[in-house]
Amino acid sequence: GAGVSQSPSNKVTEKGKDVELRCDPISGHTALYWYRQRLGQGLEFLIYFQGNSAPDKSGLPSDRFSAERTGESVSTLTIQRTQQEDSAVYLCASSPDSFNEKLFFGSGTQLSVL
């Protein structure tokens, strides 16, 4: 696609439910990043994928968070047993490769946990 696409745009869920967020990167971009942005705060790194290499999961806050990416295509971020503190905007970004320092962002998913 022309840009990074994320879905859903907004998600409201009840505490304890699982949610799945989707990111479709720019075609041909091998690097993909997930960030979390809490209200009024900066971006917090979650996870990074580069091609078929093992992902860097060092930013995932707990084992309730996981992410997958098949090859150089779509990625899904899954949050199990959601908590109220998970409420945030989840932003996805892609880059032509890990050596390219410019990030191209999607519009994010606003997650609200009630």
Positions that interact with other proteins (CB under 8 A): 31, 33, 35, 40-43, 45, 48, 50, 56, 89, 91, 93, 98-99, 101-103, 105-108, 110
Give the pairing of strands 75-79 and 19-24.
Answer: antiparallel
The answer to whether the beta carbons of residues 33 and 47 sit under 8 Å apart is: yes
Please name which of 106, 23, 92, 97 lies closest in space to residue 53, comparing C-alpha atoms: 97
Closest distance of CB 12 from other proteins, Å: 16
Closest distance of CB 93 from other proteins, Å: 7
Closest distance of CB 81 from other proteins, Å: 26
- Which CB sits closer to other proteins, 13 or 59? 59
